[in-house]
Every structure is written in structure tokens, then in C-alpha cells.
Amino acid sequence: MNLFMHRMKFLLLTLLLVLASFSARASNDDAKAVALAKQSACLGCHAVDKKIVGPGFQAIAKKYTNDPSAQVFLKNKILKGGSGSWGLVPMPANTKLSDADLSLLTSWILRGAPSTN
């Protein structure tokens, strides 16, 4: 095999390892976000794929797909609560979440709340 083919194999292998690393991190973040959503009682009013009291996380992700300020907006909505975005039923404030927790949760929601299974 020539040097070019060896380099190509090396680059391909490196790329695959990088992608696997990102996938493992995303899966770990997804598991943390699911646990946080359960712990914070988000799943009492929201489901992944359907409306309960509030909209499903996939519907939220779809609504804000092209909104560059969506994460900041959703972090604020979770932190302060409010109503009017999805109807009249108010969302209670969740003031005990850290900024890191809010970032993790909103990133997960905006990706459509992927399952960890």
C-alpha cells in the first residue's frame, strides 16, 4: 500500500474516533438532561413527543428551530416561568436550577429531547 492510502486510512480512523467521542458525550449529556428533567418535575407537564399540560419537547424544538435566541429565551422561561407562549396555563418558575443546568436542559430540548436508549 502506498503512503497516500496509509494517510487516508489514518485520517478516516481519526475522524471516526472523533465522531464516536462526540456521540458518547451527547449521549452522556442526554442522560444527564433526562435525569434533570425528571428531578425538576418538567416531565409532570411536558412529554417528549406529545402535549400534556405544556407542549411536548419535540414541538418546542420545532417551533424554535431557526431562532438563534431560543436557548436564552427558554432558559429565561424555565427560570422565571410565565404564560402566553403556548396558551393560558402558566409555567411555574424553576429558580433552583443553575445556569449550567438550564443550558444542559435547553440544549437537550432544542435538539428534540433525544432518548438515551
* CATH code (residue 48): 1.10.760.10
Is residue 34 one of the residues assigned to a domain? Answer: yes
Domain total of the chain = 1
Q: Does a structural domain hold residue 102?
A: yes
Residue 116 lies in a domain: no
Length of the chain in terms of residues written? 117
Task: Tell me the H-state helices in 40-96.
Answer: 57-63, 70-80
Query: Is the overall model pTM greater than 0.95, yes or no?
Result: no
What pLDDT is attached to residue 39? 95
Residues 77-102 have pLDDT tens digits of 999 998 888 888 899 999 999 999 99
pLDDT in tens, 30-43: 999 999 999 999 99
Closest CA to 102 of 44, 57, 50, 40: 40
Q: State the pLDDT at residue 25.
A: 53
Indicate whether 17 belongs to any domain: no
Report if residue 9 sits inside a domain. Answer: no
Domain that holds residue 82: 29-110
Q: Which DSSP string corresponds to 36-54?
A: HHHHTTGGGTB-SSSBSSS
